[in-house]
Structure 1
């Protein structure tokens, strides 16, 4: 009887573990996107060139991330978006982070 209970419970435990690991992966990707957006926004606010800002963001963001840098009146906005890693669960949301910084004095957009 214990063998039958174990045979029924083991797949459920494995499924719960898989869901927990997927959630952890999504959380790590979100944190990496936020870090990448902050670093890129800081660099852009200092007046670093666009390709360097993009490279800084991509070096910290998850693989296959998209980085958008836009400047407005006195501010710079960086958006980093990383698709979900798990290709089997298409319903998972992408990790998206935005960071805005004020341009430092003397920096022109």
Structure 2
């Protein structure tokens, strides 16, 4: 009876740890989504690049990398992070957000 209890207990502990890690990974993914959207909105408003990166990092999980790129009339913000806890695993969450760049006041053409 003791051997069976030890096996069942170890399986339950492993299952609980996997469940907690999965929830942390989902939480990190949601933070990446929010951070990428925040950064894309800031970049679309023509905020300075360092301000966009700062705003995005504030909303992202700790240690996340942020890449901001402009592609024609669109801005793209990519946030990549490793979920907390089991950091030794080669697993990361990544999210991108794209927004249309807004026209700056100085860029408007004056009418006749």
TM-score interval, normalised by the smaller of the two chains:
0.7 to 0.9
Provide the aligned C-alpha RMSD in A.
1.5
Match for residue 94 of structure 1?
A: 92
Shift in Å at residue 62 of structure 1? 0.7
SS in 2 for 1:98: strand
Unaligned runs of 5+ in 2: 108-112
Match for residue 82 of structure 2?
A: 83
Deviations 1:23-64 (A, max 9, x none): 111111111001000000001101111111101100010111
Match for residue 55 of structure 1?
A: 54
What is the number of residues matched between the two proteins? 105
- Which runs of structure 1 show a deviation greater than 3 angstroms over 4 or more consecutive aligned residues? none
Give, in whole Å, the separation in 2 of the partners of 1:87 and 1:70: 28
TM-score calculated relative to the size of structure 2: 0.86
Unaligned runs of 5+ in 1: none
